[in-house]
Structure 1
Amino acid sequence: MRWVFRILGALVATVMVLVALVFMLPGEKVAGLAADQIEAQTGRRLTFHGDVRFTIWPILGVKSEAVTLSNADWAGPEPMLTAERLSIGISASDLLLGRVRVTEVSALLPHLNLSEREGGLGNWVLQGGGAAASAGGGGQPQTQQADIPAVSIEKLTLAGASVRYRPHQGKPIELSAMDLVLNWPDPSGTVNVDLNFLPLGAPMRVQAEVGTFASFLSGNVASVGATVSADGGMLRFDGRADLTGAATGRVTAKATNTSAFLAAFGQAGITLPRGLGQALSLGADATYTIDGRLALRDMALDLDGNQLQGALDLTLAEVPQFTAQLNGTHLQVPGLLPAAPGGGSGAPSGGAAASSAGWSKEAIDAAALGLANGTAVLSFQSLKAAGYELGASKLSLTLDRARGVLKLQPAALFDGLVQGQVVANNRNGFSTGGKLSFSSIRLEKALSQVAGYDRMNGEALGELEFLASGNTVDALMHSLSGKGWLEVNKGFFSGFDLEGLMRSGKGNGGSTVFDQLTGSYDITQGNLQNDDLLLTLKGLRAEGAGRIGLGTRDIDYLFSPTIAGVNGGNGLTIPVSITGPWADPKIRPDLKNALQPQIDEVEAEAKERLREKLSEELETEIAPEQDLNEVIRDRIEQEAKDQLQRLLLGD
């Protein structure tokens, strides 16, 4: 807003001085002499490139073709003002009394070349000649008023005007195709302004009322009401302001098409999902200071029906700085859709969902992390967005040089609570990480939405630390590392029946209900390794170990369930191998290894009976550790030696 006020003030001040200078001309014959006198008094050269003539009927006034007013020495060689035609109407009765009351000023295709220097001095401030003019920028400007009659303007009309405004610091602002109508019937009263222009290629209209306008032009604070209208919306300010742009008052805004409205302010190409402000309304108490700080208090915001209240502090700079505190009730963002399988056309960029073929390889656009720096805190009773449903939660987002930290303080998610933080870093390539603790989480919801796995059900608590890098979801999942632990009380696996497997050897289909599940894990290069899974069921106990491919979306895991033995005896253990892709894992019992203990027991019992029989037959004690084959071989050798000895000795 600052540049709008300064341009408007400079425009009016320049026209007023120009009118006064033109009325010093006694006629065309002495125009050159008068121009010399004007230059001596103001330090500027007024040049008429066409006829200067007076009109009596129908309006008393002056018309001039092709007018040029030179610039300040420090502002460059280009003229400060040029106009193809200038027409001025005056009040004859006031002129007879020595006053100049301008009833109307109109200019065709005027162009103002406005600039500021250090200290805020504008080139539209006309200094006297001589020593004062040669002093340059030192000290305060000394406007020569003695020989210039007081001027008031009732109506100012500019057609096809253009402005180039160069502040002392910051980028130049250029406006073209401006049509301005300014009504100022009372010199000590209110001015009404109607301005149509194309600030950034899209049409915009400003309608404003400024009280005590003369005082406002002198740099004092005045009451201001202004409405800015553009395609898709409007913005209204009612309060007090001065020429520097400092202002305080009430701001209201309403947009039926926010994207189109933002385009008029140079923010083209912004597409907001439904629920985040495709249509919006805003009301807030606003304070703006000349160093670019905007404070909004008592703010009420409606984003497509989502009601928010709170406060915002914003510092306008190349990279804006912000602090926000917002509170909402029941929020919905239906336009923020979950990613389509495989990152197809229906998915937002970098969607997390994937088909059985793998994770999305669509590039993640994280440029938004570098658009601003600051912290925003959002509290709400519920939120539905991107396929997720959150209950009463408090979220804090901090952005710092393309690094975002989302803190969950806590968040009600998957019917449980999640606390901790998630980090997204786009400073040198994209990476993400976090440390979370959770309780009462419904695993069927969490695993289905986060990892596309819906075969495990139950209420979980645990912790998770993770880190990943890459510019696609596929790269992130393959680079994933971390650790954590999990505990689930009462749940079930779908897809296989462990009890049926143990009893009949057929376990595909059905479900496995368990009383408790515990385990810890480490993640390296997208592979989750678990070696201490413990699963307890009614009459069963299962241990597990193996690999779960988070990047490759496959599994290679071995369950070892054991059926409790009768009367405290040893139970039957049947290892279960689970291998293959998540979408269609193969579940196979290892019956050979399952029966091996029983086979070993039968073999041991048979060997013991054989040992006892041989001991009886051979009339010698055979120790359990002795090899029966060696005992029999030794006995045969001994018998052969004895028989040979009898034969040789003739016994």
Structure 2
Amino acid sequence: MKLILRILGALIATLVVLVVVLFMLPGEKVAGLAADQLEAQTGRKLTFQGEVRFTLWPMLGVKSDGVVLSNADWAGPEPMLTAERLSIGISAGDLLRGKVRVTEVSAVLPHLNLSERADGRGNWVLGGESDGAAAAGAGEPQAAALPISIEKLTLTGASLRYQPHKGAPVEMSSVDMVLRWPDPSGTVNVDLTLRPAGAPLQVQAEVGSFAAFLNGAVSSVGASVAADGGSLRFDGRADLTGAATGRVTAKTTDTEAFLTAFGQSGIALPQGLGQAMVIGADATYTTDGRLALRDMALDLDGNRLEGGLDVVLSDVPQFTAQLNGGDLTVPGLTSAATAAAAGESSEVAASGWSKEPIDAAALALANGTAVVSFNSLKAAGLEFGASKLSLTLDRSRGVLKLQPAALFGGQVLGQVVANNRNGFSAGGKLSFNGIRLEKGLGQLAGYDRLNGEALGELEYLASGGSLDALMRSLSGKGWLEVNKGFFTGFDLEKLMRSGRGNGGSTVFDQLSGSYAIERGNLVNQDLLVTLKGIRADGGGRIGLGAQDLDYRFAPTISGLNGAAGLTIPVLITGPWADPKIRPDLKNALQPEIDAVEQEAKDRVIEKLSEELDMEVTPEQDLNQVIRDRIEQEAKDQLLRLLGGD
């Protein structure tokens, strides 16, 4: 009991002495001592513009309104820190020994003016280094011990302006931060709340050997970022310049909301491209803005890919990517063409191609090349098999290379281009083989009446601000060959022969033809279709823009013993959705009529030659021949009458 009383008495006596000393020592003097020590050890001048008051609770120390901390010599005249109110906590034990040790700094409504010089050193690095010494030691880590430590730093309602050595400044407001650094040679823990776009962005970080980190050494760093819609984690090593290497993981349940919290609003990804995603990668970032991701694994709405990515961060990022995937599905990626073709919108299908403006602004978001390989892909109404695709973006121009692509049951090799540099245009040059026409024409143009496996080439170019404008401006050329197939909607064999035919379809053995496209109209004059004993020649116009047809088939059934066959032309006219298919009987009978007329004319010429006792050719006018003969006969008779020979 005596021992306890003695200890308690000693503690009370100590507290009494401490209180007496604190009340006897003016606040301005304590503040002055702290400011002098800070300036001596860091080279920064701390100015108190308001009254400095002593505080006992909740923190032992001083408090002042209107506080200014000067900037580094090389960072310009603007102060690095200003605050509406600043509270400084002081170690009581050190104070009794005549020393001032800052244990806590709390700032209300501070403004931080941060900048970075060419060697990567920031003005927030506190030290007595002069400009000359800085130049001499530029780019080299500073091994000296940190001149001052703060066990806890609290910023409330802070704003900041950060000016990197290169690039535009970054400004933020409504920033809250709590930094805990209990051991000057140990780890610092930071809780930070940012609001780049209004919604809070929570950052929790820990930096090992923080004193060495502030002096330029590489230290272990762990950081978590959480916001509406997702979170991000980094574990690795970094230095004060921002160079870092480690493992990055991220998970989002709403990617658009998560990006909005970072100030990147309006980025709405289609389903299948990362509305929800999981990412993991080994990351390396260098101070010149280069980010390399290796051993990368992606899960984009269930679509899994792996590979690597290199990015150069700038106003327009540069990228290079190599990704491999399995079976991918992007149901959120559709086009007006495929929607109309598949009949997903009866209104669009009835009125033709969509006239909605095409937004191609995404072509300007970045420059670079991405190569993607996959086992299968369903997107925009198209179904790819195992394929390799290469996408290159260069100043609002995108080129998609198919190297090759398994599409429509066959293979397509070539490239398609989308250009938004001076208005939107699209073009391409493709070769294909094994393509199922009913799939290709059905998914791309909404026409599925032609069935067969095709080989050919296509070159095209179009421009305009909507799909309708593109299709009506379309130009190009190509050729097509199909072995065995059929047309649906009319039965050519039944038309040419008696019998049941093929149940409303025309089955052919071969189809070939070439075509030219101009102003949205495909014109073909050398279509050849062969089927059982029938040859069909065709020519006409297919309105790709207007979605209509004006085409004429001329099928000919083979005659017996080499005789001329019967030809019955077939006209196909009207809209794609409801074409009219009918025989052209007038033109079908005309050859027979012409043949009868020619035979009669030949007989008349033969008889007239006999009667006139002279040769009459088909080229001569029969009326003129008869008239000339009558005149000659009359002349001869008149001469005899007058006594001539």
TM-score w.r.t. length of structure 2: 0.84
Q: Please report how far the alpha carbon of residue 272 of structure 1 lies from its aligned counterpart in structure 2 after TM superposition.
A: 1.2
1:602-637, Cα deviation, whole Å (9 max, x unpaired): 344445666777788x59687675877778778888
Alignment of 1:299-318 (within 5 A): 299-318=296-315
SS in structure 2 at match of 1:375 = strand
Alignment of 1:153-232 (within 5 A): 153-232=150-229
1: distance between equivalents of 2:337 and 2:445? 14
SS in structure 2 at match of 1:567 = helix
1:486-542, Cα deviation, whole Å (9 max, x unpaired): 001111112222223334799999221111111111122222221211110111101
Alignment correspondent of 1:586? 580
State yes or no: 1:459 paired with 2:453: yes
Alignment correspondent of 2:10? none
Alignment correspondent of 1:482? 476
State yes or no: 1:322 paired with 2:319: yes
Letter of the 1:555 counterpart: L
Alignment correspondent of 2:70? 70
1: distance between equivalents of 2:172 and 2:58? 34
Alignment correspondent of 1:111? 111
2: distance between equivalents of 1:581 and 1:29? 92
Q: Please report how far the alpha carbon of residue 206 of structure 1 lies from its aligned counterpart in structure 2 after TM superposition.
A: 0.6
Q: Is the 8 A contact 1:486 1:518 kept in 2?
A: yes
Alignment correspondent of 2:79? 79
Alignment correspondent of 2:535? 541
Q: Please report how far the alpha carbon of residue 26 of structure 1 lies from its aligned counterpart in structure 2 after TM superposition.
A: 6.8
Q: 1:221 to 1:98 in 2, by over 3 A?
A: farther
Identify the match of residue 237 of structure 1 among 201, 226, 234.
234
Stretches of structure 2 lacking an aligned partner (at least 5 in a row): 1-21, 139-144
Alignment correspondent of 1:18? none
Alignment of 1:415-430 (within 5 A): 415-430=409-424
Q: 1:139 to 1:200 in 2, by over 3 A?
A: farther
Q: 1:184 to 1:44 in 2, by over 3 A?
A: closer
Alignment of 1:79-98 (within 5 A): 79-93=79-93
Identify the match of residue 386 of structure 2 among 365, 382, 392.
392
State yes or no: 1:526 paired with 2:523: no
| More displaced stretch, 627-636 vs 579-588 | 627-636
Q: 1:153 to 1:631 in 2, by over 3 A?
A: closer
2: distance between equivalents of 1:490 and 1:526? 28
Q: 1:636 to 1:284 in 2, by over 3 A?
A: same
SS in structure 1 at match of 2:587 = helix
Identify the match of residue 337 of structure 1 among 323, 334, 346.
334
Q: 1:227 to 1:99 in 2, by over 3 A?
A: farther
Q: Please report how far the alpha carbon of residue 202 of structure 1 lies from its aligned counterpart in structure 2 after TM superposition.
A: 2.0
2: distance between equivalents of 1:301 and 1:116? 35
Q: 1:256 to 1:516 in 2, by over 3 A?
A: same
2: distance between equivalents of 1:126 and 1:383? 55
State yes or no: 1:515 paired with 2:512: no
1:438-491, Cα deviation, whole Å (9 max, x unpaired): 011111111112122222111111001111111122222222111110001111
2: distance between equivalents of 1:589 and 1:639? 53
Letter of the 2:325 counterpart: G
1: distance between equivalents of 2:266 and 2:57? 53
SS in structure 2 at match of 1:475 = helix
Q: 1:632 to 1:58 in 2, by over 3 A?
A: closer
Q: Is the 8 A contact 2:377 2:384 kept in 1?
A: yes
RMSD of aligned Cα (Å): 3.8
| More displaced stretch, 99-108 vs 457-466 | 99-108
Alignment correspondent of 1:6? none
Identify the match of residue 293 of structure 1 among 290, 295, 318.
290
Alignment of 1:602-621 (within 5 A): 602-606=596-600
Alignment correspondent of 1:572? 566
Q: Please report how far the alpha carbon of residue 189 of structure 1 lies from its aligned counterpart in structure 2 after TM superposition.
A: 1.6
Alignment correspondent of 1:369? 363
Alignment of 1:489-500 (within 5 A): 489-500=483-494
1:300-349, Cα deviation, whole Å (9 max, x unpaired): 000000000010000100000000001110000111234279989x99xx
State yes or no: 1:268 paired with 2:298: no
Letter of the 1:221 counterpart: V
1:19-58, Cα deviation, whole Å (9 max, x unpaired): xxxx9x9744657976996798566543223343445677
Q: Is the 8 A contact 1:342 1:359 kept in 2?
A: no
Letter of the 1:48 counterpart: F
1:214-242, Cα deviation, whole Å (9 max, x unpaired): 11111100011110111100000000001
Q: 1:221 to 1:583 in 2, by over 3 A?
A: same
Alignment correspondent of 2:434? 440
Letter of the 2:531 counterpart: L
Alignment of 1:132-171 (within 5 A): 139=136, 151-171=148-168
Letter of the 1:88 counterpart: I
Identify the match of residue 590 of structure 2 among 593, 596, 609.
596
Q: Is the 8 A contact 1:341 1:355 kept in 2?
A: no
Stretches of structure 1 lacking an aligned partner (at least 5 in a row): 1-22, 142-147
Q: Is the 8 A contact 2:28 2:52 kept in 1?
A: no
1:88-140, Cα deviation, whole Å (9 max, x unpaired): 33444455678765544333333222223444454445676xxx869697655
Q: Is the 8 A contact 2:428 2:460 kept in 1?
A: yes
Q: 1:513 to 1:64 in 2, by over 3 A?
A: same
SS in structure 2 at match of 1:269 = coil
1:245-291, Cα deviation, whole Å (9 max, x unpaired): 10000000000000000001111111111111110000000000011
Q: Please report how far the alpha carbon of residue 151 of structure 1 lies from its aligned counterpart in structure 2 after TM superposition.
A: 3.8
SS in structure 2 at match of 1:595 = helix
Letter of the 1:109 counterpart: L
Alignment correspondent of 2:244? 247
TM-score w.r.t. length of structure 1: 0.84
Q: Is the 8 A contact 1:47 1:67 kept in 2?
A: yes
Letter of the 1:364 counterpart: I
1: distance between equivalents of 2:204 and 2:452? 62
The number of equivalent residue pairs is 612
Letter of the 1:89 counterpart: G
2: distance between equivalents of 1:134 and 1:395? 53
Q: Please report how far the alpha carbon of residue 178 of structure 1 lies from its aligned counterpart in structure 2 after TM superposition.
A: 2.3
2: distance between equivalents of 1:119 and 1:628? 106
Q: 1:623 to 1:136 in 2, by over 3 A?
A: same
Q: 1:185 to 1:72 in 2, by over 3 A?
A: closer
Q: Please report how far the alpha carbon of residue 592 of structure 1 lies from its aligned counterpart in structure 2 after TM superposition.
A: 3.0
Q: Please report how far the alpha carbon of residue 559 of structure 1 lies from its aligned counterpart in structure 2 after TM superposition.
A: 1.6
Q: Please report how far the alpha carbon of residue 188 of structure 1 lies from its aligned counterpart in structure 2 after TM superposition.
A: 1.7
Letter of the 2:439 counterpart: K
